Amino acid sequence: MNLFNGIEAFIQVAEKGSFAGAARQLNLSPSAVSKLVARTEDALGTVLFNRNTRSLSLTPEGQLFLKRGRVILSEMAAARADIAAAAGTPRGQLKISMPNITSFFLPLIGGFQEAYPEIDLELDFSDRVVDVIDEGFDVVFRVGQLSDSRLTSRQVARINMQLVASPAYVAKNGLPDSVESLAHHHCIQYRYPTTGRLEAWPLPEEYRGSLSFSKRLVCNSADARLGLVLQGQGIALMPDLLSAPYITSGDLVVVLGESVQKEYQLHLLWPTNKHAMPRLREFVDYFHHHLS
């Protein structure tokens, strides 16, 4: 038996929750998938699924092997792609987690696909902190410092967060002339999808925890905040990678200048054992070039 076929069948059954679903995905019959899984269990000397007439669930051994199996198949795909790339253009698939700022990243993704048409991309736009290894990502964007020894990182940009408002909002409500005056303005706030907490604005130390802001508008999308602030709905803390063009054009103005701002580093992170994949190197180099 080709053990890799058995591992692929096992993973599909685990992800689809049924042999029938896995069979449709693999273009095989349910009985063929069942035989592949059974032979894999025989080869491993353990039972991977709890089976009965109504349900199918992973055994503890199955849960462990699911993580390992994904890594095995990923490494095999990477090896095949590397061998193919050695003779020509980088190709294969990359699974990527990106911040949910589609208006900024989609043009860059489009440019990458134009430059590397043989590389397929699976994009996960989300502001949650994904588990790079367990969820099978090849590369992720992340703000802050590297904290996982299994990952390699490269800084690709510096992001400056600052308060902005539209000229229409300022004409109607005035421009805040102090940090304290923010308490009397409409503030468009961001809620973290993972923790449910509101993003803390980078106020000077003496004001932290002592000022209460309006919750008239709260959302979990940078693109939505940008749209709302351009409509004149309030003041928002925005990354300059989104706000800079509008500040240059005059459609937005900076509020309180250097009094309320903070700089972050944007990194690309990837599993260390995937460092040599040509398609991954090209992706990292491309974004480093265009963002730095």
State the residue for tokens 């308060």: 163
Q: Which parts of 27-133 fold into alpha helices (H)?
A: 30-44, 60-86, 102-115
pLDDT at 195: 84
- Asked whether this chain's domains 82-157+265-291 and 159-262 adopt the same fold, the reply is yes
**Going by C-beta distance under 8 Å and a sequence separation of 6 or more, which residues neighbour residue 64?**
none
pLDDT at 54: 78
Q: Which residues of the chain have pLDDT under 50?
A: 1
Specify the CATH architecture of the domain 82-157+265-291: 3-Layer(aba) Sandwich (3.40)
Q: Are 26 and 12 in contact (CB under 8 A)?
A: yes
pLDDT at 124: 93
Any bridge partners for residue 198, and if so which?
191
Q: Where are the domains of the chain?
A: 3-65, 82-157+265-291, 159-262
Any bridge partners for residue 56, and if so which?
51
pLDDT at 255: 95
Q: State the Cα–Cα distance between residues 56 and 58, nearest whole angstrom.
A: 7
pLDDT at 276: 66
pLDDT at 243: 94
pLDDT at 192: 86
Pairing of strands 92-98, 139-143: parallel
pLDDT at 240: 92
pLDDT at 87: 56
Model pTM?
Answer: 0.67
SS3 call for 126 = coil
Specify the CATH architecture of the domain 159-262: 3-Layer(aba) Sandwich (3.40)
pLDDT at 273: 75
Cα dihedral value 119, 80, 5, 13, nearest 10: -30
pLDDT at 88: 63
Burial classification of residue 1, based on how many CB atoms lie within 10 Å of its CB (0-12 exposed, 13-18 middle, 19 or more buried): exposed
Q: What is the CATH number of domain 3-65?
A: 1.10.10.10
pLDDT at 287: 94
pLDDT at 278: 86
pLDDT at 145: 65
**68-124 pLDDT per residue, tens:** 888 888 888 777 766 666 656 788 899 999 998 999 999 999 999 999 999 999 999
Q: State the Cα–Cα distance between residues 127 and 98, nearest whole angstrom.
A: 8
Q: Which parts of 116-251 fold into alpha helices (H)?
A: 167-173, 222-230, 240-249
